[in-house]
Structure 1
Amino acid sequence: MQTKAFAAHSPTTTLAPLTIERREPGPTDVAIQILYCGVCHSDLHTVRGEWAGVRYPSVPGHEIVGRVSAIGKDVSRFKLGDLVGVGCMVDSCRTCPSCRDGLEQYCEGPHGFQGTYNGWLDGSGENTYGGYSADVVVDEYFVLKIRHAQADLAATAPLLCAGVTTWSPLRHWKVGPGKKVGIVGIGGLGHMGIKLAHALGAHVVAFTTSPSKAEEARKLGADEVVVSRDADAMAGHARSFDFILNTVAVAHDLDAYTTLLKRDGAMTLVGVPATPHPTPNVGNLIMGRRSIAGSVIGGIPETQEMLDFCAEHGITADIEMIDMQDIEKAYARMLKSDVKYRFVIDMATI
């Protein structure tokens, strides 16, 4: 079936209207009328060709909230009219150890997971088109139930990427009451990390280079705020953190944070810088049995867990709504960090 979309045709062209083909729903497929789509930095990196293997035309968008408009004959989890979400993946091999563990983002199959846009990770098969479109058709396994109120749907959309990207490591490293947790960076990812760590019951310390963000961080749920350029303030937290979630996507000195970890503490990186971080001091790691780890998005079960937790606790992203036609202006502002904290497209404007 044909549907309206916005696409980039090359790394140097602006996004423009395009009619794309969506498959007719198969036996286990769910067709979704897209209501809102969040705008992720990954969208910008992709359409500008900053990551290898981008396939054009590129229709980005993997923070999708919509309403079920049709279902296949074997669909059992959804019915017409249900509010649903789609995140960063629309398929995986489903048979490898990671997929069997509900961690499809680490799919070890021959192609990796299939992205909501830009196809399979290894570049095989047909291109996939994301949420900057009026409709999408997805296998029911990769569709999430949305339990937030109707009024919160737009602000729920970024949970499908920014929310689960921070939730997954917080849960894996068992963040909760009695844990001291640092969140580095207060942006699209960081603001969700603060909200979720706070709701999980941890003592949350936000790190920022900007003193002006201190009050904002406290409103988001931070118990303390440290300006990372203040050496004395940083030193005052030495060897005190159980866990640090580092959301910064530019290269920086990791040693400044590993020295803040307790023995057996871990710092997990979720931001991907354009250039490598400076090599960390191994002494900081081996003398405290500390670790530096990485994490990417989240599997389908933990994404559903995160959505249900956020609905129960009234958690959404802080957003600014835009029309589809203003996407290039939004990209320009994203590059200047001029958004608090996530753009969401009202797909009625497509």
Structure 2
Amino acid sequence: MLTVNAYAATSATEPLVPTTIERRDVGPHDVLIDIKFAGICHSDIHTARGDWGPASYPLVPGHEIAGIVSEIGSAVTKHAVGDRVGVGCMVNSCRECVNCLQGEEQFCVAGNTGTYGAMDRDGTVTQGGYSTHVVVTEDFVVRIPDALALDVAAPLLCAGITTYSPLNHWGAGPGKKVAIVGLGGLGHVAVKIAHAMGAEVTVLSQSLKKQEDGLRLGADHYYATNDPSTFDQLAGSFDLILNTVSAKSDLDAYLSLLAVGGAMVNVGAPAEPLSLNVFSLIFGRRSYAGSLIGGIRETQEMLDFCAEHELGAEIEVIPAEKINDAYERVLASDVRYRFVIDTATLG
């Protein structure tokens, strides 16, 4: 076993604290990664604070991991020592069900193994990327292209694939009008990706305070949803709406913005249930859907796409001692647009 430095939540109400954790020995198909950067995702906060149900403490969050391979198992063929690699939201799956066999491991029938807070194959609870090292089976490690700096690549392992997958699945591209709801950690990456795909991109945000940023990131239009005239002006406009907000929304109002046959997809995950009037769907043959990250194959595709288009997250790099401050700033929407931990500061 390898003992490594980490930052952990000890309860739903206490700040995260420095600690040490044990990583399993490198098995034949395992890769040991020297973590360089770990992104902070809103999901980390929800999980650490028990918003999505009871968690197992101590809990080391972090599923936006970028680093360098420092050791490989005897049977590893996909990676070599010195490779630039990443790990996202899952570290294993059954590999046998219909979804896994189709490259959709995130929808594993038996449930994928989350990067933290999940039961690992050896019966222990997985611990995430707020640490100096991690051991992961080679099939769940992706290659980070040289064109992407590791710090800006880290958030792509969650925010990137979470937005790329639905944009890809629902056909964002030339001739398509795409709206992104919210310009935060997910939304700012969604704008960049949708723009790079060739879509006409509109940001729908509560106010116009981030308008300059939105247009700089690739949006063609920017509207404030706190102005009721926005919904009248844009009625029936969009082929696809991607809702990145993790808060309760007026779904009927947003669905009214879809063209006939359009789809609204939720990737934000509010803690409370949402409701809608079915007539918002019936009148216009509209669809309301959800999307969960992406499979390993699509995650690699996303990283290659982002490298090709020189597209990374907008980040603020912080030392580990600022993690708790960063959590509060995320909750206050005081970040543009993603915090990334420099894991060298873990000691």
- Normalised to the residue count of structure 2, the TM-score between the two structures is 0.97
Equivalent residue number for residue 329 of structure 1: 325
- 1:164-175 map, 5 Å: 164-175=161-172
What is the CA–CA distance in structure 1 between the aligned matches of 2:210 and 2:23, rounded to whole Å? 43
Alignment counterpart, residue 307 of structure 1, candidates 295, 303, 312 = 303
- 1:128-147 map, 5 Å: 128-147=126-145
- 1:88-237 map, 5 Å: 88-109=89-110, 112-120=111-119, 125-149=123-147, 152-237=149-234
| Counterpart AA for 1:49 | G
What is the CA–CA distance in structure 2 between the aligned matches of 1:139 and 1:267, rounded to whole Å? 35
Q: Deviations over 1:218-273 (max 9, x none)?
A: 01100001111222232222112111101111112011111111111000001111
SS in 1 for 2:186: helix
What is the CA–CA distance in structure 1 between the aligned matches of 2:50 and 2:254, rounded to whole Å? 32
| Counterpart AA for 1:18 | T
Gaps of 5+ in 1: none
Deviation at 1:124, TM superposition (A): 10
Deviation at 1:13, TM superposition (A): 2.0
For the 8 Å contact 1:239–1:263, the answer to whether it is kept is: yes
What is the CA–CA distance in structure 2 between the aligned matches of 1:58 and 1:272, rounded to whole Å? 20
For the 8 Å contact 1:148–1:156, the answer to whether it is kept is: no
| Counterpart AA for 1:93 | C
For the 8 Å contact 2:52–2:271, the answer to whether it is kept is: no
- 1:256-335 map, 5 Å: 256-277=253-274, 279-335=275-331
Q: Is 1:16 the equivalent of 2:12? A: no
Gaps of 5+ in 2: none
| Counterpart AA for 1:332 | E
Deviation at 1:17, TM superposition (A): 1.7
For the 8 Å contact 1:119–1:125, the answer to whether it is kept is: no
Q: Deviations over 1:65-122 (max 9, x none)?
A: 000000011111111100000000000011111111111111102xx1101000149x
Give the superposed CA RMSD. 1.4
Alignment counterpart, residue 341 of structure 1, candidates 333, 337, 344 = 337
What is the CA–CA distance in structure 2 between the aligned matches of 1:140 and 1:290, rounded to whole Å? 40
| Counterpart AA for 2:331 | L
Deviation at 1:126, TM superposition (A): 1.8
Deviation at 1:137, TM superposition (A): 0.4
For the 8 Å contact 2:207–2:223, the answer to whether it is kept is: no
Equivalent residue number for residue 66 of structure 2: 65
What is the CA–CA distance in structure 2 between the aligned matches of 1:313 and 1:268, rounded to whole Å? 24
| Counterpart AA for 2:15 | T
SS in 2 for 1:308: helix
| Counterpart AA for 2:134 | V
- 1:30-49 map, 5 Å: 30-49=31-50
Deviation at 1:18, TM superposition (A): 1.4
For the 8 Å contact 2:176–2:200, the answer to whether it is kept is: yes
| Counterpart AA for 2:315 | I
Runs of 4+ with >4 A deviation: none
Q: Percent identity?
A: 56
For the 8 Å contact 1:250–1:272, the answer to whether it is kept is: yes
Q: Deviations over 1:43-67 (max 9, x none)?
A: 1111112221311110000000000
Q: Deviations over 1:151-206 (max 9, x none)?
A: x2101100000010000100110111110000000000000110000000000011
